[in-house]
């Protein structure tokens, strides 16, 4: 978990304006947050962009509607990375596969899920109070404040710290050291552009079709 404040402190330390363990002033933290959110906005307009993963668990009955009820915090259309029922991974199928092969609905512990790309998430079998957990992924438009925890992909906290240092250095140092520029290039180059990935693993077979399994 990463807070905006952690990234801001890292940037000030890279600029040699803060010693390890030293407390950042409120004014410097506020300035850092403003520049950090401008940075996130800048990155979101480029092929390289930032996203966060969120886990949501609900004792569910029937299918899921994103953006409604207990799932209201997840906007319709949010990408599902993985799903589980009572901590056991579920396998993704298409809505067409669901409609053709898994109807009419039966009740039980879901082993499969199908997302229509908007609000509907169909589960098979349909749960009757089982705990369903969705791992969803969304782009980060801004950091809400300094203290909120975010789950960022590997390498992104370091990349943001390096990039933020480049953007605050002219203000706090009066110059932009090339060492900071090189560190930014290296850190941003190390993070992968996000691509929805189906992880290699055991496959689920049914009626002649093979569905790849995602790791939860």
List strand residue ranges (DSSP E) for the chain, in order.
2-3, 51-61, 64-65, 79-85, 88-89, 91-92, 112-115, 120-124, 128-139, 149-150, 204-206, 209-211
What are the tens digits of pLDDT across the range 168-183? 999 999 999 999 999 9
pLDDT classification of 47: cutoffs 50, 70, 90: low
The stretch 86-108 carries a mean pLDDT of 93
pLDDT higher than threshold 70 for residue 194: no
- pLDDT one-digit tens code per residue, 56-75: 999 999 999 999 999 999 99
Domains parsed from the chain with CATH numbers: 2-50+140-190 (1.10.3230.20), 51-138 (no CATH)
Helix (H, G, I), strand (E, B) or coil at 37: helix
For residue 27, report the phi and psi dihedrals to the nearest 5 degrees.
Answer: -65, -45
Judge whether residue 192 has pLDDT over 90.
no
Spatial CA neighbour of 213 closest among 101, 118, 113, 79: 113
What rounded mean pLDDT belongs to the chain?
A: 85
d(CA 174, CA 162): 17
* Residue 102, both tokens: 């898994």
pLDDT at 128: 96
Q: Give pTM, 2 decimals.
A: 0.63
Q: Is the pLDDT of residue 79 over 80?
A: yes
Separation of alpha carbons 90 and 82, rounded Å: 7
Is residue 49 within 8 Å of residue 56, measured between CB atoms? Answer: no
Task: Say if residue 198's pLDDT is above 60.
Answer: no
Instruction: Tell me the per-residue pLDDT of 99-130, one tens digit each, with 9 for 90 and over.
Output: 999 988 899 999 999 999 999 999 999 999 99
pLDDT, average across residues 21-31: 94
């Amino acid at each position: 978990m990463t807070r905006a404040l952690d990234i801001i402190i890292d940037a000030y330390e890279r600029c040699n304006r803060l010693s390890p363990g030293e407390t950042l002033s409120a004014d410097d933290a506020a300035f850092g947050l403003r520049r950090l959110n401008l940075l996130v906005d800048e990155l979101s307009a480029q092929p390289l962009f930032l996203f966060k993963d969120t886990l949501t668990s609900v004792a569910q009955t029937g299918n899921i509607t994103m953006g409604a009820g207990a799932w209201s915090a997840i906007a319709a259309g949010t990408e599902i990375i993985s799903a589980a029922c009572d901590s056991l991974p579920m396998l993704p199928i298409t809505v067409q596969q669901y409609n053709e092969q898994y109807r009419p609905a039966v009740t039980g512990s879901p082993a499969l899920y199908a997302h229509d790309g908007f609000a509907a998430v169909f589960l098979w079998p349909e749960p009757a109070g089982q705990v369903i957990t969705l791992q969803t992924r969304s782009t980060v438009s801004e950091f809400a404040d300094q203290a909120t925890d975010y789950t960022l992909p590997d390498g992104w906290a370091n990349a943001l710290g390096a990039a933020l240092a480049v953007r605050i250095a002219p203000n706090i140092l009066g110059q932009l050291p090339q060492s900071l520029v090189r560190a930014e290039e290296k850190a941003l180059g190390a993070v992968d552009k996000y691509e929805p990935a189906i992880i290699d693993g055991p496959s689920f077979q049914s009626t002649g079709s093979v569905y790849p399994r995602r790791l939860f």
